[in-house]
């Protein structure tokens, strides 16, 4: 009396409505790719190229904020001279920026 009978839906349904319901999800992924993922991959590629191009005598800025001149090169590590007689060894990936020649005086 108070409960109405429940009927099963027809099999198959409307396939266009299910595709349209997925459209916002696909659009959000496309926007996310172009706004976040692609620029990050570009920055990583530029950083890798910069690290591979390091040479002895380059003036660099490290991730810790130190400014120094590259004195020794290795596959994974490099020596950076921070001041006269002060040399530290750090990972290549810790180099954030290569400065123009003559910046450190």
**pLDDT exceeds cutoff 70 at 60:** yes
Mean pLDDT, rounded, for 11-27:
79
User: Model-level pTM?
Assistant: 0.71
Mean pLDDT, rounded, for 74-94:
95
Q: What percent of the chain has pLDDT over 90?
A: 76
What are the helix (H) ranges across the chain?
15-32, 38-52
Ranges of each domain in the chain: 14-53, 55-105
CATH topology for the 55-105 domain = SH3 type barrels. (2.30.30)
| Other Cβ atoms closer than 10 A to 15 | 8
Instruction: Name the average pLDDT for the chain.
Output: 90
């Amino acid at each position: 009396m108070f409960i109405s009978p429940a009927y099963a839906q027809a099999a198959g349904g409307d396939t266009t409505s299910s595709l349209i319901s997925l459209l916002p999800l696909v659009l959000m992924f496309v926007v996310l790719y172009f706004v976040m993922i692609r620029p990050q991959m570009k920055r990583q590629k530029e950083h890798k190229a910069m690290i591979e191009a390091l040479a002895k005598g380059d003036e660099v800025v490290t991730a810790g904020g130190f400014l120094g001149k590259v004195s020794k090169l290795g596959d994974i590590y490099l020596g950076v001279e921070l001041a006269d007689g002060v040399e530290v060894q750090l990972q290549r990936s810790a180099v954030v920026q290569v400065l123009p020649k003559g910046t450190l005086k």
